[in-house]
């Protein structure tokens, strides 16, 4: 089994959720059967973005928010590569928001891993676009005023063809989501709930607490009913969906997950089940649909152009206008 | 009635009308006919930023100036000999540029009370004495066009729209221009609408016939073809030449071209042109914004493509951080800046040379990069190839500084043979480069060029990570070591400085070697300076001329050249940006001449300034 560790000393804080994600990725990647030299990790800026230095593949630690754009240029011109974007809630949803939504709508062949710790860790504790309203941080001593983004809803709204959520502490789930993401051709967005134990410890504690997690985690699996140990999702009277006690419904009433639906409305509705108190949280693959990836579409046009008039010739190009000769 | 034919050695015509009148098209077609005939020519399109300002108003006036001659010329002309004014606004906007005695061809049909009032004329200037110092030909262009197209099933409005073709026909007769190319152009343009083609051709021919038969034009003019150097020529604008140069750079470096760009005046044409040539394997990516454009180009460069981005001043400002990343990761990248009037949004369709200092210093940290500036529309081709050569050989972003005047101006271009273009390809890294024969060191430099190896993803055994954080020599691992940082800052600077040994020396044009004054320039001031220098020499004066193509690094002999003259005059369309650099570096008391009007210098203007410098103590 190939070892993807590098010789660099890992510098995340002891107890950081990133270690678990790194270990999960390092042990999962050999399964893909890809050549090391054909893998590239592109990151932005943030604790998440130190990731490429710890993977023995090609890597590009770029600038804040711009990784999806840089990776787009690479993926669109090198369809032979497996390109991964490592980003965070600040990098991807604040400064990088614009590049993220455009990469998603273009369906560039990328695997985007968004480490969401709901805080700015590297710059030491300011609030992020996924922090809850009223959060008290260094830049918001009286509490944050901003309503947070829901990254899953945003991605679905941006026409994403693959959207999933997982959590740093559940290696098995993380790896199964990564597997599906890697198999999907086009942009795969995976939000990973990640714990920053220094600046925002226990942000996802209910999902990890053995007393609560089985009740609040709604596992999404295509073809399976959407339910936790004690709750279930069903169609509501108003035409939407709702979460009710499992005891209140029959098995047939429980909504069965369909990740491959062309219409994203149901996936979107599932993403809206999130609420601040973590009473119920859907995790897993919300949506996975097939549409042509950007590099395929670009390559098609290049082939079509050559097919019509043959490959380009420089002399023909130069002589192509109205020319005249002076003797 | 016998008509006279007069010989002229040159003519400067300015077509002016509403933005929607097709003045650019008329100018382009007249230019094409002139090029085909074999005159040397130079053009200056002048158009507003808005798509279509209200008809008949001053802000809506669009003009196209063409200078053509039987000899080699350098500028679009200081002032027109002939003004074609399609309406009162066009007349009013351009009258102050018209020297006494010039011809005015005015479309009298548009000099209605309403149109006159729109621009503040109480009485039509065609009817009072106000235009007595010029030769006015009032032509009922619109009504004659409508009459000529009576047989066609066209609405009055559509028929009127062809009046620019009537004007073109008239001017073509007046200056003995060939007509076949225009007729063929119209047939091709309207191939899917043959009736429209026929109507436009009819309007064109009606204009020609009008010139031939009417008594208002008793003289027509012959301007013989120019004796240019033998070869095959085509008329080309700077933006198109630049696009072709990038394609040539891609072919000659054997790297697939990836353009990441965003539409911006006056650079969008380059994106449009490159997007037409997918047969060359060119990928053009219209990104969501300027930053994504250059980011995608850099990502493609990481993968082994020739990454290019094209923009104007405001875009360069946005791209600064990403270009800095290219500097520190030492990847090839071409950044094309077609400069326009600033600051901020400025005047998008007007020209200026004000981005030089931003190109030199507009990134955080010590972030040097080479700068190449073309001097004529056709030179944009060679400058682009040169920019690619440097970027690829030294693994660095390169800024190519063009401007709006070069971008939209055109001139005859002697075509190079593709076989004569230099091979500028380099080898990607393929194996270990360290003494132990096993390790790959991504930042171990070539002893001569100081360039690092270019190892692209997909190459087994060379896996490495690069990034924006400061890195150690050789290994490229993150390093905060104080001495390492000082060394790395200096070696990145040395890499760029060292390019001076790889570029031609600055040449000086000084025919008898006795000039005491040097006129120096960079970019598009070449033509006006050279035309001014010609005037000085024609009247017996002595002056030397030199023009910089490489702004960073400067040619190795630049200091020597500057110090060889008593006085150095440096005209710039900015407030003295190159002068600032040269003064600081060489301690020479450069004399700046600056005008920042959004227009090129005039030859006469510069001749006056040069003479003053020669005459002064």
Interface membership of B107 toward A (CB under 8 Å): no
- CA dihedral over B543, B547, B552, B554, signed as positive or negative: negative
Residues of A in contact with B282 (CB under 8 A): 302
pLDDT band at A276 (very low <50, low <70, confident <90, very high): confident
Residue of B73, B91, B71, B74 lying closest to B82 (CA atoms): B91
CB contact under 8 A, B228 and A36: no
**Residue B318 φ/ψ, nearest 5 degrees:** -70, -35
Three-class SS of residue B518? strand
**Residue B239 φ/ψ, nearest 5 degrees:** -65, -40
Q: Find, in chain B, the residue whose alpha carbon is nearest to that of A71.
A: B299
Q: What pLDDT score was predicted for residue B617? A: 67
At B148, list the tokens. Answer: 């000529």
Flag whether the ipTM exceeds 0.90.
yes
Please give the share of chain B, as a percent, with pLDDT higher than 90: 89
Q: pTM for the complete prediction? A: 0.94
Integer Rg of chain B from CA: 27
pLDDT in tens, A9-56: 999 999 999 999 999 999 999 999 999 999 999 999 999 999 999 999
At B365, list the tokens. Answer: 């940290």
Residues 430-459 of B with CB under 8 A from A: 457-459
CB contact under 8 A, A305 and B278: yes
| Segment B494-510 mean pLDDT | 98
pLDDT of B432 > 60? The answer is yes
Q: Which of B234, B244, B466 sits opposite A323 (nearest CB)?
A: B234
CB contact under 8 A, B35 and A324: yes
Residues 285-314 of B with CB under 8 A from A: 285, 287-289, 291-292, 295-305, 307
CB contact under 8 A, B415 and A323: yes
Q: How far is CA B532 from the centre of its chain?
A: 20
Interface membership of B428 toward A (CB under 8 Å): no
CB contact under 8 A, A69 and B458: no
Question: CB under 8 Å to A206, separation ≥6 — which residues?
Answer: A212, A213, A216, A278, A281
Average pLDDT, chain A: 96
pLDDT of A261 > 90? The answer is yes
pLDDT in tens, B451-486: 999 999 999 999 999 999 999 999 999 999 999 999
Q: Which of A56, A73, A75 sits opposite B297 (nearest CB)?
A: A73
**Residue B471 φ/ψ, nearest 5 degrees:** -125, 155
pLDDT in tens, A283-300: 999 999 999 999 999 999
Q: Give the helix ranges, DSSP H, for B331-436.
A: 356-361, 379-394, 404-408
For an interface test with A, which of B30, B232, B299 has the most A Cβ atoms less than 10 Å from its Cβ?
B299
pLDDT of A1 > 50? The answer is no
CB contact under 8 A, B300 and A8: no
Beta-bridge mates of residue A137: A140
pLDDT in tens, B347-393: 999 999 999 999 999 999 999 999 999 999 999 999 999 999 999 99
pLDDT of B397 > 60? The answer is yes
For an interface test with B, which of A41, A48, A66, A69 has the most B Cβ atoms less than 10 Å from its Cβ?
A69
B560-563 own/partner pairs: CB under 8 Å, 24+ apart: B561/B506, B561/B508, B561/B518, B562/B518, B562/B520, B562/B586, B562/B588, B562/B590, B563/B588
Q: Is the peptide bond before A157 cis (omega within 30 degrees of 0)?
A: no
From first CA to last CA, the distance across chain A in angstroms is 70
| Segment B400-411 mean pLDDT | 97
pLDDT in tens, B251-293: 999 999 999 999 999 999 999 999 999 999 999 999 999 999 9
Residues of B in contact with A38 (CB under 8 A): 457-458
For an interface test with A, which of B302, B327, B430 has the most A Cβ atoms less than 10 Å from its Cβ?
B302
Q: Give the helix ranges, DSSP H, for B23-66.
A: 23-37
CB contact under 8 A, A323 and B289: no
- Chain B closest CA to A50's CA: distance in Å? 10
Backbone dihedral region for residue A202 (phi beyond 0: left; psi -120 to 50: alpha; all else: beta): left
Backbone dihedral region for residue B3 (phi beyond 0: left; psi -120 to 50: alpha; all else: beta): beta
Interface membership of B130 toward A (CB under 8 Å): no
pLDDT band at B201 (very low <50, low <70, confident <90, very high): very high
Please give the share of chain B, as a percent, with pLDDT higher than 70: 100
Cβ contact A172:A183 at 8 Å: no
């Amino acid at each position: 089994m190939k070892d993807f560790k590098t010789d660099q000393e890992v510098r995340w804080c002891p107890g950081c959720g990133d270690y678990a994600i790194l270990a999960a990725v390092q042990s999962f990647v050999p399964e893909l059967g890809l050549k090391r030299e054909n893998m590239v990790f592109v990151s932005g800026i943030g604790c998440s973005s130190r990731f490429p230095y710890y993977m023995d593949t090609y890597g590009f630690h770029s600038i804040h928010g711009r990784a999806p754009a840089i990776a787009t240029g690479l993926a669109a011109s090198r369809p032979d590569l497996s390109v991964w974007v490592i980003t965070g809630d600040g990098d991807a949803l604040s400064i990088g928001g614009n590049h993220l939504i455009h990469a998603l709508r273009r369906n560039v062949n990328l695997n985007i891993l968004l480490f969401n710790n709901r805080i700015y860790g590297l710059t030491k504790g300011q609030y992020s676009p996924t922090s809850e309203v009223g959060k008290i941080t260094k830049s918001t001593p009286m509490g944050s005023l901003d309503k947070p983004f829901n990254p899953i809803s945003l991605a679905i709204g941006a026409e994403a063809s693959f959207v999933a959520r997982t959590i740093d502490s559940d290696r098995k789930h993380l790896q199964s989501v990564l597997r599906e993401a890697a198999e999907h051709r086009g942009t795969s967005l995976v939000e990973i709930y990640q714990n920053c134990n220094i600046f925002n410890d226990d942000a996802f504690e209910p999902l990890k607490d053995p007393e609560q997690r089985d009740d609040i985690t709604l596992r999404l699996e295509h073809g399976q009913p959407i339910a936790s140990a004690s709750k279930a999702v069903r169609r509501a009277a108003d035409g939407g969906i709702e979460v009710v006690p499992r005891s209140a419904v029959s098995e047939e009433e429980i909504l069965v997950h369909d990740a491959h639906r062309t219409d994203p409305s149901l996936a979107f509705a599932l993403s809206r089940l999130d609420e601040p108190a973590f009473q119920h949280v859907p995790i897993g693959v919300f949506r996975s649909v097939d549409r042509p990836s950007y590099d395929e579409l670009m390559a098609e046009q290049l082939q079509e152009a050559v097919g019509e008039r043959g490959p380009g010739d420089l002399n023909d190009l130069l002589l192509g206008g109205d020319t005249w000769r002076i003797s | 009635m016998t008509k006279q034919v007069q010989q002229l050695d040159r003519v400067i015509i300015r077509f002016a009308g509403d933005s929607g009148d097709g003045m650019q098209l008329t100018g382009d077609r007249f230019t094409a006919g002139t090029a085909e005939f074999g005159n040397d020519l130079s053009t200056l399109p002048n158009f507003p930023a808005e798509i279509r300002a209200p008809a008949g108003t001053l802000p809506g006036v669009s003009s196209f100036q063409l200078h053509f001659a039987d000899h080699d010329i350098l500028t679009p002309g200081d002032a027109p000999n002939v003004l074609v004014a399609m309406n009162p606004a066009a007349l009013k906007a351009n009258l102050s540029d018209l020297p006494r005695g010039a011809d005015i061809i005015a479309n009298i049909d548009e000099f209605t009370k309403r149109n006159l009032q729109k621009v503040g004329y109480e009485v039509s200037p065609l009817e009072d004495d106000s235009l007595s110092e010029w030769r006015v030909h009032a032509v009922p262009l619109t009504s004659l066009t409508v009459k000529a197209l009576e047989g066609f099933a066209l609405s009055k409005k559509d028929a009127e729209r062809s009046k620019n073709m009537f004007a073109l026909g008239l001017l073509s007769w007046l200056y003995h221009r060939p007509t076949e190319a225009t007729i063929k152009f119209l047939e091709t343009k309207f191939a899917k609408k043959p009736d429209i083609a026929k109507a436009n051709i009819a309007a064109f021919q009606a204009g020609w016939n009008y010139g031939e038969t009417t008594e208002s034009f008793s003289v027509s003019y012959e301007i013989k073809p120019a004796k240019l150097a033998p070869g095959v020529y085509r008329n080309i604008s700077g933006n198109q030449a630049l696009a072709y140069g990038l394609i040539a750079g891609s072919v000659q470096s054997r790297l697939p071209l990836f353009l990441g760009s965003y539409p911006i005046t006056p650079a969008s044409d380059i994106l449009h042109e490159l997007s037409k040539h997918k047969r060359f394997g060119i990928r053009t990516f219209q990104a969501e914004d300027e930053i994504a454009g250059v980011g995608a180009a850099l990502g493609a460069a990481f993968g082994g493509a020739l990454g290019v981005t094209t923009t104007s001043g405001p875009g360069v400002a946005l791209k600064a951080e990403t270009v800095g990343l290219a500097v520190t990761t030492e990847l090839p990248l071409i950044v094309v800046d077609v400069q326009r009037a600033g600051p901020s949004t400025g005047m998008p369709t007007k020209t200026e040379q004000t981005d030089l200092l931003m190109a030199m210093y507009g990134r955080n940290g010590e972030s040097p990069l080479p700068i190449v500036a073309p001097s004529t529309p056709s030179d944009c081709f060679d400058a682009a190839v040169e920019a690619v050569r440097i970027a690829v050989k030294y693994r660095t972003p390169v800024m190519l500084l063009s401007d709006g005047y070069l971008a939209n101006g055109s001139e005859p271009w002697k075509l190079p043979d593709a076989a004569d273009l230099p091979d500028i390809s380099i080898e990607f890294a393929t194996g270990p480069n360290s003494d132990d024969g096993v390790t790959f060191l991504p930042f171990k430099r070539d002893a001569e060029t100081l360039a690092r190896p270019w190892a692209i993803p997909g190459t087994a055994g060379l896996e490495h990570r690069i990034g924006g954080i400061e890195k150690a020599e050789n290994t490229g691992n993150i390093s905060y070591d104080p001495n390492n940082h000082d060394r790395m800052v200096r070696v990145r600077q040395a890499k760029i400085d060292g390019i001076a040994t790889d570029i031609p020396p600055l040449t000086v044009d000084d025919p008898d070697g006795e000039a005491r004054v040097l006129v120096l320039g960079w970019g598009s001031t070449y033509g006006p300076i050279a035309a001014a220098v010609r005037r000085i020499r024609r009247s017996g004066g002595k002056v030397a001329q030199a023009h910089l193509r490489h702004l960073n690094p400067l040619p190795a002999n630049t200091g020597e050249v500057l110090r060889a003259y008593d006085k150095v005059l440096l005209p710039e369309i900015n407030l003295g940006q190159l002068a600032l650099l040269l003064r600081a570096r060489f301690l020479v008391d450069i004399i700046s001449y600056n005008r920042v009007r959004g227009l090129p210098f005039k030859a006469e203007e510069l001749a006056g300034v040069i003479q003053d410098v020669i005459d002064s103590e």
